């Protein structure tokens, strides 16, 4: 049974208190410490702790360990501006070790979170723990005119946190509905800056995908740090990854940087705890069947299989609301086995005439163009019969924008007339007779 999660209700990752809590190899932590000191030229424990995103006590343990191995030494000077902290610097052996470690991997800075530890946090902030109410969904989609029956289908699908396929004719708001679902999720989760598996570092936090929430105040010189969660994570809005015709299968794999010798998370790993939207399915180079086949295991088992450069494969959590949107009928692009894996299939049809008029009036009011009854009668009685009275959600915006552009060009006040309707309509379609070889 799903539990209700409030905007502040996600349990944060607890900060480590000792080196043992880190569950990383001592050598890896020591090397990242040395590389960070070398690259960032930090010399006080408070500065180093901020750079590697660890509590000061744990950072001091690592500094003491490096001193025992004669890789760090105290400078013998204290800074009056930093609470009389002792400074530290790399020894010659420490510099040599830092350079050797950088040759193996350029990664330095925030200490990575072990994959197993991250998997525990994914469970605490699972997308399936969210329960969207009708009011939340309606509020997020208030700018759309949708039939109540559609919300009846969308609500349970979103609350279940399972995959959704939206299909139907183009221009009827499938992309807008996907974005509305995203906006309905008001809580925040914790995204690791990097995770570790088998000694390899995979960067996860991506400021393009992850919207950082307001940072907590944190005084590194304070004995009692105010931060209430592990600083290796960033508190973010639930992420949304949106892809379209550019999506390829290799974008769903780890991205290896041969220069830095580190990995970047795949798109679906970046979307963990949030939404992965595949828009315009069927327009990619890859056949849609192949793309969905890639998700069969994640959709069924809530885990994904990724591979390192060595060929070693490993499991990562797949905790994502996958939304597929297509203009094609599902039976034409998927086999039944693939369709069975997608939990909810929701058809998004065009509006009826009454809803079309509501949308038209709403757009006209927003764009400050007065409605005109003869123009509307002309549109409904003369123009739409030409296309068998098939209405689409995009058409009001298209027609009104066209009329506004004409009015601005002609230097006349915003208005709609039968003549302007005709001129706008002419730009909405291309007749078959106009196509030339």
Locate the domains of the chain by residue range.
Answer: 25-109, 116-214+229-347, 353-427
- In angstroms, the CA 394 to CA 431 distance is 19
What Cα–Cα distance (Å) separates residue 421 from each residue in 373, 404, 406, 425?
Answer: 12, 11, 10, 6
Higher pLDDT, 352 or 162: 352
Task: Name the residue among 312, 316, 314 with its Cα closest to residue 303.
Answer: 316
Q: pLDDT of 224-280, one tens digit each?
A: 445 589 999 999 989 989 888 889 999 999 999 999 999 999 999 999 999 998 888
Angle, helices 26-40/45-52, rounded to nearest 10 degrees: 110
Backbone angles phi, psi at 96, to 5 degrees: -65, -40
Higher pLDDT, 304 or 343: 304
Q: For position 227, what pLDDT does the model report?
A: 58
Q: Which fold has domain 25-109?
A: Arc Repressor Mutant, subunit A (1.10.10)
- In angstroms, the CA 112 to CA 135 distance is 39
Helices (H) and strands (E) in the chain, counts: 18, 16
In terms of CATH architecture, what is 116-214+229-347?
Answer: 3-Layer(aba) Sandwich (3.40)
Q: For position 431, what pLDDT does the model report?
A: 64
Global pTM reads 0.82
Sign of CA dihedral 377, 381, 386, 389: positive
Distance of CA 430 to the CA centre of its chain: 37
DSSP-derived 3-state class of residue 60: helix
Q: Which fold has domain 353-427?
A: Helicase, Ruva Protein; domain 3 (1.10.8)
Percent of the chain surpassing pLDDT 70: 92
Whether the pLDDT of residue 386 is over 70: the answer is yes
Q: pLDDT of 26-49, one tens digit each?
A: 999 999 999 999 999 999 999 999
- In angstroms, the CA 235 to CA 151 distance is 30
Q: pLDDT of 302-335, one tens digit each?
A: 999 999 999 999 999 999 999 888 888 888 888 8
- In angstroms, the CA 19 to CA 25 distance is 9
DSSP-derived 3-state class of residue 74: strand
- The reply to whether 25-109 and 116-214+229-347 are identical in fold is no
Contacts of 161 (CB under 8 A, 6+ apart): 2, 126, 127, 128, 129, 130, 319, 321
- Say how many residues make up the chain: 437
Task: Name the residue among 24, 16, 12 with its Cα closest to residue 115.
Answer: 24
**How many alpha carbons lie under 13 Å from residue 210 in its C-beta half-sphere?**
26
Q: pLDDT of 106-124, one tens digit each?
A: 999 999 999 999 999 999 9
Q: pLDDT of 62-109, one tens digit each?
A: 999 999 999 999 987 655 455 578 899 999 999 999 999 999 999 999
Q: For position 79, what pLDDT does the model report?
A: 53
Q: For position 223, what pLDDT does the model report?
A: 44
Q: For position 292, what pLDDT does the model report?
A: 84
Radius of gyration of the chain (CA): 28
């Amino acid at each position: 049974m799903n539990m209700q999660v409030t905007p502040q209700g996600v349990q944060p990752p607890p900060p480590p208190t000792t080196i043992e809590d880190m569950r990383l190899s001592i050598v890896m932590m020591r090397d990242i410490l040395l590389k960070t000191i070398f690259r960032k030229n930090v010399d006080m424990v408070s500065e180093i702790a901020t750079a590697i995103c660890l509590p000061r006590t744990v950072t001091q343990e690592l500094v003491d360990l490096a001193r025992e191995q004669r890789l760090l030494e105290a400078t013998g000077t204290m800074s009056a501006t930093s609470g009389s902290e002792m400074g530290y610097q790399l020894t010659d052996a420490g510099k040599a070790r830092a350079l050797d470690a950088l040759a193996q991997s350029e990664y330095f800075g925030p200490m990575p979170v072990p994959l197993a530890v991250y998997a525990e946090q994914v469970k605490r902030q699972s997308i399936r723990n969210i329960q969207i109410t009708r009011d939340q969904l309606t509020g997020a989609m208030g700018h759309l005119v949708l039939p109540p029956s559609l919300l009846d289908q969308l609500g349970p699908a979103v609350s279940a946190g399972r995959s959704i396929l939206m299909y139907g004719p183009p221009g009827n708001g499938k992309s807008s509905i996907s974005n509305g679902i995203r906006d309905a999720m008001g809580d925040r989760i914790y995204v690791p800056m990097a995770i570790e598996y088998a000694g390899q570092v995979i960067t996860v936090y991506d400021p393009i995908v992850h919207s950082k929430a307001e940072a907590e105040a944190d005084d590194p010189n304070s004995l009692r740090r105010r931060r209430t969660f592990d600083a290796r994570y960033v508190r973010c809005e639930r992420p949304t990854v949106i892809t379209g015709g550019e999506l390829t299968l290799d974008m769903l794999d780890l991205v290896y940087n041969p220069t830095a010798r580190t990995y970047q998370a795949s798109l679906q790993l970046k979307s963990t705890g949030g939404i992965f939207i595949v828009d315009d399915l069927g327009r990619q180079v890859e056949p849609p069947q192949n793309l969905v086949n890639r998700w069969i295991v994640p959709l069924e088992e809530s885990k994904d299989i990724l591979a390192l450069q060595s060929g070693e494969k490993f499991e990562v959590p797949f905790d994502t609301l996958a939304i597929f949107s297509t203009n094609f009928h599902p039976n034409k692009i998927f086999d039944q086995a693939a369709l069975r894996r997608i939990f909810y299939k929701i058809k998004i049809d065009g509006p009826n005439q009454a809803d079309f008029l509501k949308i038209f009036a709403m757009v006209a009011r927003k764009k400050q163009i007065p409605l005109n009854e003869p123009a509307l009668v002309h549109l409904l009685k003369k123009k739409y019969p030409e296309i068998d009275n098939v209405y689409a959600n995009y058409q009001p915006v298209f027609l009104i924008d066209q009329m506004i552009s004409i009015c601005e060009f002609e230097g006349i006040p915003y208005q709609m007339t039968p003549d302007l309707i005709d001129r706008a309509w002419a730009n909405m379609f291309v007749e078959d007779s106009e196509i030339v070889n």
